[in-house]
């Protein structure tokens, strides 16, 4: 089942400057695993050393935050879009 994984601008440099990648996957975990297998440099930006998704990396399936679904076990279907959204902090007064 092909799903589209959207790669945010700050991480595109680690994915051959691609905006998105179509992958075969049944769950978010499978899609992210396939993505990081294809683009190894992405792994350290998405996952901590213990293999957990970093706390500042938000993942959505069709605009639904996976934290409120089944996290990485969330099922995906053909035509779904997975969006990776890193949290941005900072700013000035």
pLDDT at residue 33, as a whole number: 95
Answer yes or no: CATH 3.10.20.30 is held by domain 2-86: yes
CB count in 10 Å sphere of residue 25: 21
5-22 confidence digits (pLDDT tens): 999 999 999 999 999 999
| pLDDT above 70 for 93 | no
- The whole-angstrom separation of Cα 47 and Cα 29 is 12
Domains of the chain: which residue ranges? 2-86
- The whole-angstrom separation of Cα 29 and Cα 35 is 10
24-76 confidence digits (pLDDT tens): 999 999 999 999 999 999 999 999 999 899 888 999 999 999 999 989 999 99
- The pTM of the full predicted model, rounded to 2 decimals, is 0.87
pLDDT at residue 87, as a whole number: 80
């Amino acid at each position: 089942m092909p799903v589209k994984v959207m790669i945010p601008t700050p991480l595109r440099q680690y994915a051959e400057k691609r905006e998105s990648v179509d992958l075969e996957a049944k769950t978010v975990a499978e899609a992210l695993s396939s993505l990081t297998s294809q683009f190894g440099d992405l792994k350290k930006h998405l996952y901590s050393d213990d293999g957990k998704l970093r706390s500042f990396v938000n993942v959505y399936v069709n605009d639904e935050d996976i934290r409120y679904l089944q996290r990485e076990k969330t099922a995906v279907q053909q035509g779904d879009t997975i969006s990776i959204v890193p949290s941005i902090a900072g700013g000035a007064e």
